[in-house]
């Protein structure tokens, strides 16, 4: 049995005068949301034996804020292919995960993460999939389990979505902005 937890980076600052999308930092709401997600991860006693993440600035800042709430160190392997990756590319990354890794955290971007969940989790699945179809917000965790022994066996329709936690589920003030 393998467990894959996906974390979309927290809300970033579009008003920041950076020249490249890759360098865009989190905004204040994003930092609060990532800390709340980290606290929730701690309360659920989630643990990971492998972390792989996009090297984008907003992902690194998301992980820093998550760690502040989580209270445990996360030592990601920075994987450039995750930056703005398609679901197919993300599945390639998953297929290459270390065989000994049982519980993996992958931190990246949309639409790839949302598309990956929709690819891996069968349509006839429980109600959580419908929430993903609706929207995969920033700083949201999606946990999937696979009845496989090696990551190379992960395939479309082969996962069960066991958890989908949005920041607004933890604190309503972290929900969508009005307006």
Is the confidence at residue 73, as pLDDT, over 60?
yes
* Best CA proximity match to 43, nearest among 71, 22, 65, 16: 71
For 147, which DSSP code?
Answer: -
Each residue of 3-57: pLDDT tens digit?
A: 999 999 999 987 767 778 999 999 999 999 999 999 999 999 999 999 999 999 9
Is the confidence at residue 125, as pLDDT, over 70?
no
CATH H superfamily, domain 2-9+24-171: Phosphoglycerate mutase-like (3.40.50.1240)
C-alpha triplet 121, 38, 53: angle, nearest 5°: 60
Asked if residue 166 belongs to a known ligand binding site, the reply is no
* Best CA proximity match to 165, nearest among 42, 29, 27, 25: 42
């Amino acid at each position: 049995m393998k467990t894959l937890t996906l974390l979309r980076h927290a809300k970033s600052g579009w008003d920041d005068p950076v020249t490249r999308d890759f360098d865009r930092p989190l905004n204040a709401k994003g930092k609060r949301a990532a800390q709340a997600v980290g606290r929730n991860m701690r309360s659920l006693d989630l643990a990971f034996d492998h972390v792989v993440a996009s090297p984008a600035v907003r992902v690194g800042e998301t992980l820093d804020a998550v760690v502040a709430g989580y209270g445990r160190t996360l030592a990601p392997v920075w994987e450039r292919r995750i930056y703005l990756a398609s679901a197919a590319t993300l599945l390639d990354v998953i297929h290459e995960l270390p065989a000994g890794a049982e519980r993996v955290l992958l931190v990246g971007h949309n639409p790839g993460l949302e598309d990956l969940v929709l690819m891996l989790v069968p349509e006839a699945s429980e109600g959580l999939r419908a929430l993903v179809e609706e929207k995969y917000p920033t700083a949201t965790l999606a946990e999937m389990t696979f009845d496989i022994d090696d990551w190379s066996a992960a395939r479309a329709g082969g996962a069960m979505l066991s958890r989908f936690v949005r920041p607004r589920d933890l604190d309503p003030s972290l929900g969508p902005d009005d307006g």
